[in-house]
Structure 1
Amino acid sequence: MLPTMLQRLYTASDLLDGFNPFDELGFTLTRDFEVFRQFVSDGGPVPSSLETRLEQARHDATIADALKRFLKVGRPLVGFMGGHTAKRNSPAFADIAKLAWSVAQDGYLIVTGGGPGVMEAAHVGVAFSRNGMDDLERALAKLAATPDYGNLDDLFENDGSLKKSKRKDVMAARDWLAAALDVRSAAPSTLPVRLAIPTWLYGAEPTMPFATHYAKYYQNSLREEALVNNSRAGIIYGRGGGGTLREIFQDVERNYYAKDAENFTPMIFFDRGAYWLRSAVYESGKVTSYGLKLDEAVAEILKFGICSRLSPDEAALRQFLDKMAFTDDVSVIKDVLARHLGVAKRNMSFALAGESFRIPTLRMNRA
């Protein structure tokens, strides 16, 4: 087990202790990977014994309590959600990093799911947010030289040992992590506070080291709830797949039951390639142009939920839907977030004071 008995969130040093950039298998020597290997051995998302289930539940409860205490920093949280497959040398990665750099200038605390891709990009942006954009550009250029970490699916033999066929991929993960640590060392020594909420369900992915605090859970369901519910200032969605879609529709559910426009949490779909505004193109069963068109579907679902409960006039309905944006305009994004800032701070203060009944979004009527 990792040191949750310290009653705090993890740091990158906790998770990456044991990493050896000079060992071909150096990525697998971290304490983080050791816990992941044991997690798989114990049954993964379906623990093999009641004892293991209880031990994991105790760990996750300790993390949840540490997270609540951490959030007493009082800064509004903006979530950056998106896929783990965005390569470091892609425009999507750089765009998210630059957007996070800009959003951080307004004092928001950035939270992600703690993985690679879009999640890492957001943390890189915030890590350099006290520097000029030139420093961020140099960091992105260095990371782009190690764009991905190989294919880390199906790593283990039945006895828990690494498959020999995965050695090349494990070496790629080592190089990916070494490059991240090198770039992190160039960031300001006192880093802006940033939160990552990862899970050992996806523990094969190497831990990106750019966050200052990690609330790492065993159970992904608890992790997803922590991500979506604590992003009270709004959520920005970069391009992603199944995991991102789950988060989007958790957020849709929360806003579907919003009591009024004030408590509708901003949903911002960001991608300069219009990923969320166009459908994918296929040839012979293969995707030749990527996209997940959600603008009309999400708006229609939310309109249905709002109108079926509240019967607003057109002006009132527009107040809800104006807090949802499909855009790559940074000024529009910052304006949407700013309009919700007061409500986000108020509801966070209620949550931290244990006054949950005063938070309208927690009293959802599922009739």
Structure 2
Amino acid sequence: MFDARQGLYTARELLDGFNPEHTLAFTETFDFSVFRAFVKEGGAVPKTLDIRRRQAEHDSCIGDGLRRFLKAHDRPLVGIMGGHSVPRDDAAYRDLALLAGHLNERGYLIVTGGGPGIMEAAHFGVVFSGRNAAKFDEALAFLKGTPRFPDLDGLIDSDGNVAPDMEGKRIQARDWLAASLKARSMAEGELPVSLAIPTWLYGAEPTMPFASHYGKYFQNSIREEALVNNSRTGIVYGHGGGGTLREIFQDVELNFYAKQPKDFTPMIFFDKAGFWTSQPDIKGTVVVHDRIKLDQVVPNILRTARLKIDKDDAKVKECLNKIYFGDVYDDIDRILRAHAPTAQSNREFALNAQPLKVSISRINRA
């Protein structure tokens, strides 16, 4: 199950065995069978050295497949991060999908963490851009019929057995995935290229099938590093929670130590509804509007850091101008486009194993 492989996965491989006619089809996929084995053999803490070695070999092969994929697709790589729980009928889902489609049409290659919610929205937007843009609303309306996937925590026990009392949730998960596949079938031709980098650590989350390539890892730490560090042209942050915050502050750290302003990577907080610029609305113990106000925190942290490094107001401003809170496509594209040449240059050096030519201290970050 943990054998090394050549290249990245496809949705067809991961979802092999899925039959929407079967009541419990969600747990019959190759993807889920690997997750069951992963949990049975210790999850994030493998039970034996042999399991650890096989997982490491698998993840090394995925890393090499990712390197070859990026060499073959020489386009500015933009990461899109966001929460897995954003439902398909939420305005944030549609807004992010439209932005991702726009970025795809502008020549950027989209990469996400490969999960549901905002991540699915990004790949859905790529699929229904360009020649399939006219079908966007039809496919989205179909997806809205199954807006949320169920909470599948506890679906399997530590021995990899499926809990017998969760049949209803397994059916919900099947229907959620079946809707994804049906919506994807509404697109004409081959899927546009986009990259998902998920992990079996979160294997209870259904695999969305809208990406063309999947670099699925066992170790989430390696996956996070690959995801954030390879989003060289910039990262777009949609509505999210704890996982998105981790990625934001991982990005903050890298920009904190960037050697020069040109190496500072754009941080785009995509914000139509004040999610990143407003305080949460809480009444008693009820969260009325879930928001995370970062429009002062992130710039202040990085302004302080850059003053220590750059010691020049003009250089600090050059960095801070790459932090954007808003939703204007032209502004987003302008920021990403200006940074793309540096990102592409550093990516070329990194992919060709020329670390001394990469202009920053971290070989795979620009």
- Shared fold (TM-score, shorter chain, > 0.5): yes
SS of structure 1 residue aligned to 2:205: coil
Task: State the Cα distance separating 1:357 from its structure 2 match.
Answer: 2.2
**How far apart, CA to CA, are the structure 1 residues paired with 2:326 and 2:4?**
40
State whether residues 74 and 348 of structure 1, in contact with CA within 8 Å, keep that contact through their aligned partners in structure 2: no
**How far apart, CA to CA, are the structure 2 residues paired with 1:138 and 1:261?**
44
Aligned match of 1:203: 203
**How far apart, CA to CA, are the structure 2 residues paired with 1:126 and 1:214?**
15
Task: State the Cα distance separating 1:34 from its structure 2 match.
Answer: 0.1
Output aligned runs, 1:222-261, within 5 Å.
Answer: 222-261=222-261
SS of structure 2 residue aligned to 1:277: coil
SS of structure 2 residue aligned to 1:74: coil
**How far apart, CA to CA, are the structure 1 residues paired with 2:126 and 2:304?**
37
State whether residues 81 and 244 of structure 1, in contact with CA within 8 Å, keep that contact through their aligned partners in structure 2: yes
**How far apart, CA to CA, are the structure 1 residues paired with 2:74 and 2:324?**
26
State whether residues 267 and 323 of structure 1, in contact with CA within 8 Å, keep that contact through their aligned partners in structure 2: yes
Aligned match of 2:272: 272
Output aligned runs, 1:126-141, within 5 Å.
Answer: 126-131=126-131, 133-141=133-141
**How far apart, CA to CA, are the structure 2 residues paired with 1:329 and 1:3?**
45
Q: What RMSD over aligned residues (CA atoms) do the two structures have, in Å?
A: 1.4
Letter in 2 for 1:135: K
Aligned match of 1:331: 330
Aligned match of 1:44: 43
**How far apart, CA to CA, are the structure 2 residues paired with 1:123 and 1:325?**
22
Letter in 2 for 1:78: V
Task: State the Cα distance separating 1:309 from its structure 2 match.
Answer: 1.8
**How far apart, CA to CA, are the structure 2 residues paired with 1:185 and 1:245?**
33
Q: For residues 263-297 of structure 1, what are the alpha-carbon distances to aligned partners after superposition, in whole Å with 9 as ceiling and x for unaligned?
A: 11110001211111112122233312110001111
Output aligned runs, 1:1-367, within 5 Å.
Answer: 1=1, 4-5=4-5, 7-72=6-71, 73-131=73-131, 133-313=133-313, 315-363=314-362
**Aligned CA distance change for structure 1 residues 118 and 363 (closer, same or farther; 3 Å):** closer
Moved more, 159-168 or 273-282: 159-168
**Aligned CA distance change for structure 1 residues 257 and 166 (closer, same or farther; 3 Å):** same
Task: State the Cα distance separating 1:361 from its structure 2 match.
Answer: 3.0
**Aligned CA distance change for structure 1 residues 63 and 132 (closer, same or farther; 3 Å):** closer
State whether residues 36 and 161 of structure 2, in contact with CA within 8 Å, keep that contact through their aligned partners in structure 1: no
State whether residues 258 and 360 of structure 1, in contact with CA within 8 Å, keep that contact through their aligned partners in structure 2: no
Task: State the Cα distance separating 1:334 from its structure 2 match.
Answer: 1.0
Letter in 1 for 2:239: R
Letter in 2 for 1:301: I
Identity %: 52
**How far apart, CA to CA, are the structure 1 residues paired with 2:233 and 2:353?**
19
**How far apart, CA to CA, are the structure 2 residues paired with 1:253 and 1:174?**
39
**How far apart, CA to CA, are the structure 1 residues paired with 2:233 and 2:80?**
11
State whether residues 45 and 201 of structure 1, in contact with CA within 8 Å, keep that contact through their aligned partners in structure 2: yes
Q: For residues 150-194 of structure 1, what are the alpha-carbon distances to aligned partners after superposition, in whole Å with 9 as ceiling and x for unaligned?
A: 111111245432223321111111001111111111113222111
Task: State the Cα distance separating 1:4 from its structure 2 match.
Answer: 4.2
Task: State the Cα distance separating 1:31 from its structure 2 match.
Answer: 0.3
State whether residues 132 and 188 of structure 2, in contact with CA within 8 Å, keep that contact through their aligned partners in structure 1: no
SS of structure 2 residue aligned to 1:287: strand
State whether residues 4 and 10 of structure 1, in contact with CA within 8 Å, keep that contact through their aligned partners in structure 2: no
**Count, aligned residues:** 362
State whether residues 259 and 361 of structure 1, in contact with CA within 8 Å, keep that contact through their aligned partners in structure 2: yes
Task: State the Cα distance separating 1:131 from its structure 2 match.
Answer: 2.3
**How far apart, CA to CA, are the structure 1 residues paired with 2:170 and 2:58?**
28
**How far apart, CA to CA, are the structure 2 residues paired with 1:41 and 1:3?**
16
Q: For residues 283-334 of structure 1, what are the alpha-carbon distances to aligned partners after superposition, in whole Å with 9 as ceiling and x for unaligned?
A: 2333121100011111111111111122112x22111100110111111111
Task: State the Cα distance separating 1:23 from its structure 2 match.
Answer: 1.1
SS of structure 2 residue aligned to 1:276: coil
Task: State the Cα distance separating 1:3 from its structure 2 match.
Answer: 6.6
**How far apart, CA to CA, are the structure 2 residues paired with 1:2 and 1:175?**
28
State whether residues 4 and 57 of structure 2, in contact with CA within 8 Å, keep that contact through their aligned partners in structure 1: no
**How far apart, CA to CA, are the structure 1 residues paired with 2:174 and 2:51?**
30
**Aligned CA distance change for structure 1 residues 43 and 244 (closer, same or farther; 3 Å):** same
State whether residues 258 and 361 of structure 2, in contact with CA within 8 Å, keep that contact through their aligned partners in structure 1: no
**How far apart, CA to CA, are the structure 2 residues paired with 1:327 and 1:155?**
39
Task: State the Cα distance separating 1:80 from its structure 2 match.
Answer: 0.4
Moved more, 158-167 or 245-254: 158-167
Moved more, 156-165 or 37-46: 156-165
Moved more, 335-344 or 123-132: 123-132
SS of structure 1 residue aligned to 2:218: coil
